[in-house]
Amino acid sequence: MKRQMKRMKKWTALCLSLCLIGGLTACGGNGDKDSEGKGDSQAEGGSGVELVATRWSGGQSDDQKELVKNYAAATIVIDDIAYDKLKEKEILNMQKNGTGDYDLIYVAEVWCPDYVKNGWLMPLNDYIEKYDVDMSVYNQSLLDAMTVDGQVYSLPTFTQTSILAYDEEAMGRYGKGVPETFDELIECAKWFKENEGSGIAIPAMQGQSAVDFFGGILYSCGGEFIEDGKIALDSDAAAQAIEIWQQLCLYSMDGSSTWHVDDVAQAVKDGNAPISISISGNCSSYLDPEQSAVAETIRFAKMPGINGNDYVGTANFWGWSVAKNSANPEEAFQSIVWLTSEEQEKAAALANGSISALPALAGDSEVLEQIPYLPAVTDTLAKARILPTAGDSSAMLTDLQAVLSRIAENPRGVDAKALLKEFNDACQDYDFNP
C-alpha cells in the first residue's frame, strides 16, 4: 500500500505540474495541438518547427517528455540517451557539416569549455538581447561557468552540490548547534567519533567525489588548482585545505575511506551517521520512510564557511545550449528560455524533485514541501565554481584522487602537507593552458 501511495503521490505531482503549465506559451506560439501519429517522446507543438533535444535518460527524462508537450511554439522531441553514451553522441552530431540532428544540447558544466573551444555551440548573447531575457533569474555562479569571453553558451538548469545533512536528535545530544564553520564541523565530527563511536560520513574513496569535495574546501580557503598555466597546490591556502581534509578523514566514520556518495547516503538512511557531507541528489531518499530510518529527524544546512567567508562549493550541473549546426537556432533559443523558466523549473521540481538553477524557487512553499533541502543547496551554490578543465587538468585531478585517498586511508600516519607538496612538484610539466 505504501508503494502504491508513493507512486500515486508522484503521479499527482506530475499532473499538478502539467496543469500549472498547461496555459503557458513561448514567444509567438499558439495553443493548437495535434499529437496524432507522434511517439511518446514528442511534444504536441503548435507550429511546423520540430526541435530535437538531447539529454540523459531516466525518470527525469520521462517526466520532461510529458512536460514539453505543453510547449506551443514548436514540437520538442526528447532524444534521451544513456549517460555514458550522451557526450559521444552529442559530439558526433555537432561535428557534422551542414545541419545536425540536434537543436538543443544538454551540456554538463565540465563539457562546456570543450564544446565552445571546438565551435559546436551557438553563442546566445544576440538572442538574449533581442528577446530581452532577464538573466538575473539564474544562479549567477552557474551562469558564469557557462560564459566564455563574455558570451553565454548555455542556460543553467538541473544542479546538485554537497550540503550538510544531519540527524536532529543526534545534534541534540551534541548540544552545540549546527556547524557554521569548518572548525566547528571538525569539532562536531570529533565529538561524535570520541563519544559515540561514529563521526562524520564523507565520500573519501579514491574517485571524483573526493576531488569535488576537496575542490570546494580549496576554493573556500582562497586557493586555486592552477595559476598562470601552472599547478598552484603549493600555496598556504592549499596547505590549509589539505589539513582540513585530513582532519575530516581522521574523525570520519569507519569505512569512509572506501565510501562514495551513495555509501554516505546509506549510512545516513540507516541512522548510523549523525552528520554527513551529502550530495543533494541523494537527499530526497532521506525523507522517504520506506528507505530511511531518520525520515522524521533528518535536517539540512548549507556547507560551513572558512576564514570568515562563505563556502565556495564545486557545482555539478547541466545547461541547455543551442547546437551551432541547428537548422532552427532562433526557435531553439526560445525553447531553452522556456525550459529554464520559473514555471517549467517548478513543474520539474514538483514532478521529480529536480533541483533548479533558479534561486527564486528556494522560497516557493510548494517546492519546499517536496524539496526542503533546496535552500541549503541554493545557499551553498551562491558562490559555486567548477573544477579546472583546461589542458592536462583531467589527468592532474585523476592523480590527485590517489593523494586524497592515501590520506583518507591513514589520516594519523601521513604528512598530508608534504604529500600535497610532493604532488605539486610532480605536476610541474603539466600544461594547463586552454
Q: 14-153+316-379 — its CATH code?
A: 3.40.190.10
Domains 14-153+316-379 and 162-314+384-426 agree in fold? yes
Q: DSSP secondary structure string, 226-239? A: EETTEE-TTSHHHH
CA distances from 95 to 107, 113, 116 (A): 15, 16, 12
CA distances from 325 to 101, 121, 333, 337, 419 (A): 8, 8, 13, 19, 47
Contact residues for 414 (Cβ-Cβ < 8 A; gap 6+) = 246, 406, 407
Whole-model pTM? 0.83
What is the residue extent of each domain of the chain? 14-153+316-379, 162-314+384-426
Which class would CATH give 162-314+384-426?
alpha beta
Q: What is the pLDDT along the chain (434 residues), one digit of tens a residue?
A: 333 344 444 444 444 444 444 433 333 333 333 333 333 333 344 568 999 999 999 888 999 999 999 999 999 999 999 988 999 999 999 999 989 999 999 999 989 999 999 999 999 999 999 999 999 999 999 999 999 999 999 999 999 899 999 999 999 999 999 999 999 999 999 999 999 999 999 999 999 999 999 999 999 999 999 999 999 999 999 999 999 999 999 999 999 999 999 999 999 999 999 999 999 989 999 999 999 999 999 999 999 999 999 999 888 899 999 999 999 999 999 999 999 999 999 999 998 888 999 999 999 999 999 999 999 999 998 888 999 988 899 999 999 999 999 999 999 999 999 999 999 999 999 999 87
Residue of 234, 187, 241, 189 lying closest to 214 (CA atoms)? 241
Q: Is residue 141 within 8 Å of 383, Cβ to Cβ?
A: yes
pLDDT digits (tens, 9 = 90+) for 396-429: 999 999 999 999 999 999 999 999 999 999 999 9
For residues 284 and 303, what is the distance between their CA atoms, to the nearest angstrom? 18
Report DSSP state, residue 33. Answer: -
- What φ, ψ does residue 362 adopt, rounded to 5°? -70, -10
Exposed/middle/buried for residue 51 (C-beta within 10 Å: 0-12, 13-18, 19+): buried
pLDDT digits (tens, 9 = 90+) for 165-179: 999 999 999 999 999
